[in-house]
């Protein structure tokens, strides 16, 4: 059995990682992969003096390069923290990083690699985007044809 676990670093995803680790520990899992999908959008907003209000700023190439590096480090940190959860239970998991639309990319990867089960949190870091586009977990549940989807609240 092959298990794909989705993460974006949110609390819901951390709960899904914990649950997936317990499931994998209790049954015979041949492979566990943890996927993080980046939509490829770079947040170039700056924040005002209150630290909360976004403002438009003029950024030079150094600033943009710094933001790109910060985003890359954040993605790596998200995957490494996810892998640690499995390591604590002596389960080897491989990290997967992809760019693209989250639900489409998750489904394509799961299908291409022949995963039997997908585990994901019920909500991620989407905020307003979730209201406008629909949740990633809902889209994966609706589109999954060849595998089981477990959504952890």
How many structural domains is the chain composed of? 1
CA distance 37 to 97: 6
Confidence at 54, pLDDT banded by 50, 70, 90: low
Q: What is the pLDDT of residue 7?
A: 95
**What are 8-21's pLDDT values in tens digits?**
998 889 999 999 99
Q: Do the Cβ atoms of 20 and 119 come closer than 8 Å?
A: yes
pTM for the whole thing?
Answer: 0.82
Q: Is residue 117 part of a domain?
A: yes
Q: Is residue 56 part of a domain?
A: no
**What are 127-137's pLDDT values in tens digits?**
554 544 458 88
Q: Is residue 24 part of a domain?
A: yes
Q: What is the pLDDT of residue 133?
A: 43
Q: State the DSSP string of 55-96.
A: E-----HHHHHHHHHHHHHHHHHHHHHHHHHHHTTT--EEEE
Q: Is residue 49 part of a domain?
A: no
User: Is 63 or 59 the better-scoring residue by pLDDT?
Assistant: 63
Q: Do the Cβ atoms of 148 and 119 come closer than 8 Å?
A: no
Q: What is the pLDDT of residue 81?
A: 96
Q: Is residue 136 part of a domain?
A: yes
CATH code of 120's domain? 3.40.50.620
Q: What is the pLDDT of residue 56?
A: 54
Tokens 């992969």 map to which residue? Answer: 33
Range(s) of the domain holding residue 7: 2-39+76-152
Hey, CA dihedral for 28, 11, 105, 36, is it positive or negative?
Answer: negative
């Amino acid at each position: 059995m092959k298990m794909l676990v989705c993460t974006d670093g949110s609390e819901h995803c951390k709960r899904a990682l914990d649950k997936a680790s317990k499931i994998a520990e209790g049954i015979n899992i041949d492979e566990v992969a943890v996927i993080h999908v980046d939509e490829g959008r770079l947040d170039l907003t700056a924040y005002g003096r209150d630290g909360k209000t976004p403002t438009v700023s003029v950024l030079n190439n150094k600033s943009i390069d710094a933001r790109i590096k910060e985003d890359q480090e954040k993605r790596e940190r998200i995957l490494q923290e996810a892998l640690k959860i499995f390591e604590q239970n002596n389960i080897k998991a491989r990290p997967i990083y992809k760019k693209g639309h989250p639900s489409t990319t998750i489904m394509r990867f799961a299908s291409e690699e022949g995963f039997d089960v997908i585990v994901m949190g019920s909500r991620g870091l989407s905020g307003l985007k979730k209201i406008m586009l629909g949740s990633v977990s809902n889209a994966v549940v609706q589109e999954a044809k060849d595998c089981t989807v477990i959504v952890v609240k």
